[in-house]
């Protein structure tokens, strides 16, 4: 399956369990790998045969910057559900949400949640 990769998108959001995280906010880095068939788009050179990743970026940006979640798991799920609901051509999403300023006493690069969702995960 073909894929579109949106790597290390940076946003400022207010997600976390602790009051300081909700008040002060912090940076989040998100990588989205979108699985879809890109053959027709490659042959026709037509955006209508693919998805507009600029629109997907704006959806992710809105969710991260304007909504609030306690858990990265909930943030990740909301992003996946919203993308599936708005882009029928996408069959699978691998999403990584990184929190480099997690309130943990220690030395680390980041903490992250990685999810792998298929459209069929949400169909009954």
**Closest to 4 in 3D by CA, of 37, 48, 28:** 37
Q: Which of 22, 27, 99, 118 is catalytic?
A: 99
What are the tokens at 120?
Answer: 């069929």
**Are 98 and 112 in contact, with CB atoms under 8 Å apart?**
yes
State the DSSP code for 9.
E
Rounded Cα gap, residues 67 and 63, in angstroms: 5
99 is catalytic: yes
**Closest to 83 in 3D by CA, of 98, 74, 69, 95:** 95
Positions annotated as catalytic residues are 99
């Amino acid at each position: 399956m073909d894929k579109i990769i949106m790597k290390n998108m940076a946003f400022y959001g207010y997600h976390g369990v602790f009051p300081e995280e909700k008040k002060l906010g912090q940076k989040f880095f998100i990588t989205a790998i979108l699985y879809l068939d890109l053959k027709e788009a490659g042959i026709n050179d037509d955006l209508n045969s693919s998805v507009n990743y600029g629109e997907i970026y704006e959806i992710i940006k809105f969710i991260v910057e304007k909504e609030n979640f306690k858990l990265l798991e909930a943030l990740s799920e909301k992003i996946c559900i919203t993308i599936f609901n708005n882009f029928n051509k996408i069959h699978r999403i691998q999403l990584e949400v990184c929190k480099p300023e997690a309130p943990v006493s220690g030395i680390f690069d980041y903490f992250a949640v990685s999810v792998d969702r298929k459209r069929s995960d949400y169909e009954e």
